Chains A and B, each alone.
Chain A
């Protein structure tokens, strides 16, 4: 049994068969196992967010079946669904989705209240998560007082603070400079090594290269699903990007692409990245 399995899933906006029909997902089947690190890549409007929202139980498919832990989502009660959202999945939204009336740390602590984390521990855990993304100094601020990149890091902190076994991140580095982006990727990779399943959306080949599996989406369909090394689009680009992230200018050999991706990340960490 795999962690996630979707079978021939459609998400259709507008009226089916009419002119205004939009097939955001057009017959997608996919399986993701426990402990995987998957990047979903595709151009804007290709259906990535739609797919992720469905995987995160935030949306329901127009047609098709979604099994989580082998159980069809349709059969889950409302209560079970909110339990899944709260305890199984840490979701990083493309649009951050922080609550403006709460402070930064309260935003990060909010999912923990739904997880029934002991109130005394929430603040501590929120601060720890904020420290991981170097934004703890803003803990008492309101999200609106933060820059886009800072807000994105708060959103990441909120997801990782839940200690959920699955993290779904929709463009988690979209608003970050490349250094901070690499740092965030580092965090995700470390979580993955500790057993967390990571599903990451990006339109950036360089970031996709950091994953263990790359799923390419176009017009609501999966057009390729492979290890990053075998992904036709990543091959040429990655060399340059990885190299620039490490900053040594060397171009890894083709055989070591993926390995070098990891090496680049390890190197960045060792270098003690700061903001």
Chain B
């Protein structure tokens, strides 16, 4: 207790020097907190992007060697996915798109036209808001129906419900049968800037009957590998090596690799911040060595009148621990402020350093104070009283 008061006294006595000593710790702790918060922000940004896009997708693309002799496996794949693999697969759709112009009365809009099955929305994480989804009857009958993303719906219809209205897509008339909920901010070029029509209209819309990309939506990420394996076997039977080459990709791997990237990035940044903390620690050791030299005489007197070594060690350790703890606290406050500001600017998120990192940063700064204060403290306590007394 008295040791703490004494340490505070001596820190107060040389405010400027104490502050400069703390600066290393302040910067180190602050940097660690802000970096971790920013990486967290970046990760959640990326993750939410991929989640909006739809996770657990097996992306299949087929490179047919001869387009004229390419078989159409769409129906077989649909059936295989929905019957044979129904325990792990939740949807199958061709993955086709083009750009097109949608016209309603006097308004027109360039947007992305997707051609999908009745499971398009399941596969791509769209949720039906109004009306109905594409049906199997639409696909079989090549009915000219469409569903609108919120951006298209709002731009062309405003507050009015588009369901039942007729729009022109690339010159042909389509009946709007439904709309989706907003999932990406209802902005131009967002995931809400889109229209879906039955894939069976592909010959008319795309000018080709060949379907060479599919999405198979798997229930959980744990089943992804099993699904890919099963689909690979199935495709090997359907499309032999003379017909074409099938590529199956795990749609989660983009997310995984970008998460891995940020992990290694944060490791590097963390390392840099760690070096800042280390330098801060050396600063503390340096200043404590100076303090020991300055107070050699005081140490001599104390030892001469009976202070045990532990007393002297404690005195200096407490001082360096308080010094670094104060630095840690200031660093944490600064780190919170900076995280908030930068999170707002970079990701438009309210970002706080996590509690675990904050506590770890605080404890680490104290540990640095004790670790680097130990040498000067032990050095001070080991002086022969008479030698210490002779110092001036």
A111–B304 Cα gap in the complex (Å)? 9
A239 to B148, CA, bound (A): 124
A85→B300 CA distance, assembly (Å): 12
Q: Are A86 and B305 in contact (CB under 8 A)?
A: yes
Asked if A56 and B304 make an inter-chain contact with CB atoms under 8 angstroms apart, the answer reads yes
Residues of B within 8 A of A37 (CB): none
A-B contact count (CB 8 A): 65
Q: How many whole Å from B161's CB to the nearest CB in chain A? A: 82
Within 8 A of A (CB), among B1-42: 2, 9-10, 13
Query: From B387, which residue of chain A is reached at the shortest CB distance?
Result: A59
For the complex, give the distance between the alpha carbons of A86 and B298 in Å.
Answer: 16
Tell which of B13, B298, B307, B386 touches A58, judged by Cβ atoms closer than 8 Å.
B386
The interface residues of chain A lying within 8 Å CB-to-CB of B385 are: 57-59, 85
Given A60-B384, A113-B2, A114-B311, do A97 and B389 touch, yes or no (CB 8 Å)? yes
Chain A residue numbers with a CB within 8 Å of B386 are: 53, 58-59
Contact indicator A58/B9 (Cβ below 8 Å): no
CB distance A82 to B9 under 8 Å? no
- A115 contact set on B, CB distance < 8 A: 306
Determine which of B2, B10, B298, B309 lies in contact with A99 in the assembled complex, contact meaning CB atoms within 8 Å.
B298
Interface flags for B290-320 (1: CB within 8 Å of A; 0: not) read 0000000110111111111101000000000
Q: A residues 94-138 with Cβ under 8 Å of B?
A: 95, 97-99, 101, 110-111, 113-115
Contact with B along A83-95 (1 / 0, CB 8 A): 1011100010101
In Å, the complex CA distance between A93 and B304 comes to 10
Q: Are B307 and A114 in contact, CB atoms less than 8 angstroms apart?
A: yes
Query: Which of A78, A101, A114 is close to B305, meaning CB atoms less than 8 Å apart?
Result: A114
Known A59-B385, A97-B389, A99-B298; contact A158-B305, beta-carbon cutoff 8 A: yes
A91: which of B13, B298, B304, B307 is its contact (CB, 8 Å)? B304
With A82-B303, A97-B389 given, is the CB distance from A59 to B9 under 8 Å?
A: no
Chain A residues near B10: list those with CB within 8 A. 101
Q: How far is the CA of A82 from the CA of B10 in the complex (A)?
A: 25
Residue of A whose beta carbon sits closest to that of B311: A114
Cα distance, A162 to B304, chains bound together (Å): 13
Q: How far is the CA of A141 from the CA of B385 in the complex (A)?
A: 26
Decide if B306 touches A83 in the complex (CB within 8 Å).
yes
The answer to whether A79 touches B308 (Cβ under 8 A) is yes
For A162, the chain B residues whose CB sits under 8 A away are: 305-306
Nearest A residue to B10 via CB reads: A101
Q: B270-308 vs A: 1/0 string, CB under 8 Å?
A: 000000000000000000000000000110111111111
What residues of B have a CB within 8 angstroms of the CB of A85 in the complex? Answer: 303-306, 385
Across-interface contacts of A86 in B (CB, < 8 A): 305-308
Question: Cβ of B389: which chain A residues have Cβ within 8 Å of it?
Answer: 58, 93, 95, 97
Report B-chain residues with C-beta under 8 Å of the C-beta of A60. Answer: 384
Given contacts A59-B384, A60-B384, A113-B2, contact A78 B307 (CB under 8 A): no
- Chain A residues near B307: list those with CB within 8 A: 82, 86, 114
Minimum CB distance partner of A113 in chain B: B2
Tell me which residues across on chain B come within 8 A of A79, comparing CB atoms.
Answer: 308-309
Q: In this complex, which of B9, B10, B304, B309 has the most chain A Cβ atoms within 10 angstroms of its Cβ?
A: B304
CA distance A169 to B2 in the complex (A): 29
Residue of B nearest to A84 (CB): B306
Cα A156 to Cα B68 in complex, Å, equals 113
Give 21 A-B contacts (CB < 8 Å), ordered by A residue.
A53-B386, A57-B385, A58-B304, A58-B385, A59-B384, A60-B384, A83-B306, A83-B308, A85-B303, A86-B308, A87-B306, A91-B304, A93-B304, A93-B389, A98-B301, A99-B302, A111-B305, A111-B306, A113-B2, A115-B306, A162-B306
Which 8 pairs show the lowest CB-CB distances between chains A and B? Answer: A86-B306, A114-B306, A59-B386, A82-B308, A58-B385, A85-B306, A111-B305, A58-B386
Which of A's residues lie within 8 Å of B, judged by CB? 53, 56-60, 78-79, 82-83, 85-87, 91, 93, 95, 97-99, 101, 110-111, 113-115, 158, 162
Given A82-B303, A97-B300, A114-B308, output 6 extra A-B contacts at Cβ < 8 Å: A59-B385, A82-B306, A85-B305, A85-B306, A91-B305, A114-B305
Q: Tell me the B residues contacting A by CB distance below 8 Å.
A: 2, 9-10, 13, 297-298, 300-309, 311, 384-386, 389
